[in-house]
């Protein structure tokens, strides 16, 4: 979702890196590039203006201009300011003070409220919670049926009183049912309208007053860009929202909405919906998104995904190899296979440092054929070559290229990328090791698979 923003920013940083010394003029030209990148990603123009001013203030500081590593300093400033833009809200729901926790999902018609209600229920169940859902969209009987059908598919319990029961009573009935049956969270789906109006706001205010939700999530269609955020602001003024769910981030949404929500609405992004399937909902982690935008790879998200497809033994074995610096081309081939099993590649490719280069022909363009080619090249090597890539000299390279139907340049590129990946993986490994020590055992499982993926 942030691919083109990310590419543009990395282009700006590369240009800064070519300067041996930063001057106010080179800073200005970098700022121009950053401004264009943000505007093209559909970030609100006022937000962009304020962002550029803050980066300029910090970048023209003497200590930055005179530093020996000006480019790194500029990247760090942009990283900090992007984090500020995304806010420091913790992802997911609030910590419930009282059970059952009541969550109200609000938004315009077609934004994805009903779908998100069921996605969120599934997500909560995976966290060990016991969710109950209820529709208060009494205007459209089909809406009530839609929630029941989706919940049925997902095995989520629905509170379904008689169709005559009004919105407020439906929600209150669900809360009573949850209390007596031991559900600890009630998700209340609401009716939308095609645009914000007083009647809708009045209804929602009544609903809010009668059920006192701890979380009011505004569901916004990211494809509608800045419009989605404008109405979020209006909902916030009338109802006070606690978080935003951006849906349809799998479409051609450019991500600008996500980067404008905190400044414009004053509430953080809590979740992102990135597909029509019920599992396509992710808690929103600002730090991870920033690293992804800056091209540092979203290693922790990858870890969470990897855990679902990789066995613990595999992870431990790979971790050992990484620690002993024994990661080979053979391991890389195995990892490419694991990546394939993890699902739509174009979504995963940004998560792993170096993976995009490995999978693409031209820089920036992802192509699943790249992975096939890479695998074919490794398949054409002997076991010894895969384990000790130093032995692959010129004549071996020619043989491997012939065997895999590729060119010597392809083989050279693969070997170069392999070395580069190994270097990055080692860096990732070192940081995760120190973090693991700090946080104790809790992250261990995740980090073990990270090691593995790191190959």
Chain positions contacting Mg ion, by CB under 5 A: 113-114, 143
| Residue 28 in the binding site for ligand GDP (CB under 6 A) | no
Cβ-based nearer residue to Mg ion, 113 or 122: 113
Q: Is 444 exposed, middle or buried (0-12, 13-18, 19+ CB in 10 A)?
A: exposed
Q: Which stretch binds ligand GDP (CB under 6 A): 22-30, 111-119, 125-133, 292-300?
A: 111-119
| Residue 112 in the binding site for ligand GDP (CB under 6 A) | yes
Among 243, 275, 297, 429, binds ligand GDP (CB under 6 A): 275
Among 28, 53, 61, 276, binds ligand GDP (CB under 6 A): 276
| Residue 353 in the binding site for ligand GDP (CB under 6 A) | no
CA nearest to 392, candidates 403, 379, 381, 402: 381
Q: Which stretch binds ligand GDP (CB under 6 A): 105-113, 291-299, 340-348, 422-430?
A: 105-113
3-class secondary structure, 294:
coil
| Residue 100 in the binding site for ligand GDP (CB under 6 A) | no
| Residue 135 in the binding site for ligand GDP (CB under 6 A) | no
Q: Which stretch binds ligand GDP (CB under 6 A): 67-75, 103-111, 305-313, 336-344?
A: 103-111
Q: How far is the CB of 143 from Mg ion (least distance, A)?
A: 5
Among 58, 113, 159, 285, binds ligand GDP (CB under 6 A): 113
Cβ-based nearer residue to ligand GDP, 268 or 273: 273
Q: Whole-angstrom Cα distance, residue 29 to residue 6?
A: 18
Assess contact for 132 and 120: CB atoms under 8 A. no
Among 273, 297, 353, 429, binds ligand GDP (CB under 6 A): 273
Token pair 């919940």 is at which residue?
Answer: 151
Residue 62 has φ and ψ, to the nearest 5°, of -60, -40
Assess contact for 386 and 375: CB atoms under 8 A. no
Radius of gyration from C-alpha coordinates of the chain: 25
Report the alpha-carbon angle 263-265-268, nearest 5: 80
How many beta carbons lie within 10 A of that of residue 427, not counting itself? 12
Among 107, 268, 286, 370, binds ligand GDP (CB under 6 A): 107
Q: Whole-angstrom Cα distance, residue 315 to residue 449?
A: 5
Q: How far is the CB of 231 from ligand GDP (least distance, A)?
A: 12
Assess contact for 86 and 259: CB atoms under 8 A. yes
| Residue 285 in the binding site for ligand GDP (CB under 6 A) | no
Q: Is 57 exposed, middle or buried (0-12, 13-18, 19+ CB in 10 A)?
A: exposed
Cβ-based nearer residue to Mg ion, 113 or 254: 113
Cβ-based nearer residue to Mg ion, 107 or 429: 107
| Residue 109 in the binding site for ligand GDP (CB under 6 A) | yes
Q: Whole-angstrom Cα distance, residue 17 to residue 394?
A: 33
Q: Whole-angstrom Cα distance, residue 288 to residue 298?
A: 5
Q: Is 325 left (phi over 0), alpha (psi -120 to 50) or beta?
A: left
| Residue 280 in the binding site for ligand GDP (CB under 6 A) | yes
Assess contact for 83 and 287: CB atoms under 8 A. yes
Q: How far is the CB of 190 from ligand GDP (least distance, A)?
A: 9
Q: Which stretch binds ligand GDP (CB under 6 A): 31-39, 258-266, 268-276, 287-295?
A: 268-276
Among 247, 374, 404, 449, binds ligand GDP (CB under 6 A): 247
Paired with 215 in beta bridges are 103
| Residue 248 in the binding site for ligand GDP (CB under 6 A) | yes
Helices (H), 164-240: 167-181, 198-211, 226-239
Q: Which stretch binds ligand GDP (CB under 6 A): 50-58, 109-117, 410-418, 423-431?
A: 109-117
Q: How far is the CB of 170 from Mg ion (least distance, A)?
A: 14
Q: Whole-angstrom Cα distance, residue 121 to residue 185?
A: 9
- Which of ligand GDP, Mg ion, none interacts with 248 (beta carbon under 5 to 8 A by kind)? ligand GDP
Q: How far is the CB of 113 from Mg ion (least distance, A)?
A: 5
**Structure tokens belonging to residue 360:** 């693409």
Closest chain position to ligand GDP (CB): 273
How many residues touch ligand GDP (CB under 6 A)? 18
Q: What is the contact surface with ligand GDP in residues (CB under 6 A)?
A: 107, 109-115, 192, 247-248, 250-251, 273-276, 280
């Amino acid at each position: 979702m942030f691919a083109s923003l990310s590419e543009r920013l990395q282009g700006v940083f590369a240009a800064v890196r070519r300067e041996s010394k930063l001057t106010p003029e080179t800073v200005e030209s970098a700022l121009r590039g950053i401004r264009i990148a943000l505007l093209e990603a559909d970030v609100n123009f006022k937000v962009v203006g304020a962002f550029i001013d803050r980066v300029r203030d910090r970048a023209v500081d003497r200590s930055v201009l005179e530093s020996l590593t000006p480019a790194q300093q500029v990247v760090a400033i942009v990283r900090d300011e992007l984090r500020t833009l995304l806010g420091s809200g913790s992802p997911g729901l609030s910590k419930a003070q009282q059970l059952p926790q009541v969550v109200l999902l609000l938004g315009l018609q077609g934004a994805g409220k009903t779908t998100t209600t069921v996605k969120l229920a599934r997500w909560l169940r995976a966290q060990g919670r016991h969710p109950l859902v209820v529709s208060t969209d009494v205007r459209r009987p089909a809406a009530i049926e839609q929630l029941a059908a989706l919940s049925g598919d997902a095995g989520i319990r629905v509170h379904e009183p008689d169709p005559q029961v009004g919105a407020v009573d439906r929600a209150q009935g669900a809360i009573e049912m949850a209390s007596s049956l031991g559900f600890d969270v009630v998700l209340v789906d609401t009716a939308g309208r095609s645009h914000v109006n007083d009647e809708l706001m009045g209804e929602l205010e009544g609903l809010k007053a009668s059920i006192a939700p701890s979380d009011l999530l505004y569901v916004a269609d990211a494809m509608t860009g800045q419009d989605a955020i404008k109405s979020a602001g209006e909902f916030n003024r009338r109802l006070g929202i606690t978080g935003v769910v951006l849906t349809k981030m799998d479409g051609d949404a450019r991500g600008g909405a996500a980067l404008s929500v905190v400044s414009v609405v004053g509430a953080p992004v809590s979740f992102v919906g990135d597909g029509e399937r019920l599992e396509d909902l992710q808690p929103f982690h600002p730090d991870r998104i920033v690293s992804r935008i800056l091209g540092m790879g979203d290693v922790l998200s990858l870890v969470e995904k990897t855990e679902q497809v990789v066995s613990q033994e595999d992870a431990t074995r790979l971790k050992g190899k990484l620690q002993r610096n024994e990661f080979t081309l053979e391991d890389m081939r195995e990892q490419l296979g694991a990546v394939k099993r993890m699902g739509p590649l174009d979504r995963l490719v940004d998560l792993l440092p170096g993976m995009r280069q490995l999978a693409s022909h031209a820089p920036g363009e992802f192509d699943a054929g790249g992975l096939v080619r890479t695998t074919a090249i490794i398949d054409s090597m002997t076991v010894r070559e895969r384990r000790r890539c130093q032995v692959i000299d010129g004549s071996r390279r020619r043989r491997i290229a012939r065997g895999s139907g590729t060119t010597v340049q392809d083989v050279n590129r693969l070997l170069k990328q392999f070395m580069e990946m190994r270097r990055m993986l080692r860096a990732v490994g070192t940081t995760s090791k120190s973090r693991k020590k700090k946080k104790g055992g809790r992250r261990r499982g995740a980090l073990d698979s990270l090691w593995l993926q790191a190959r």
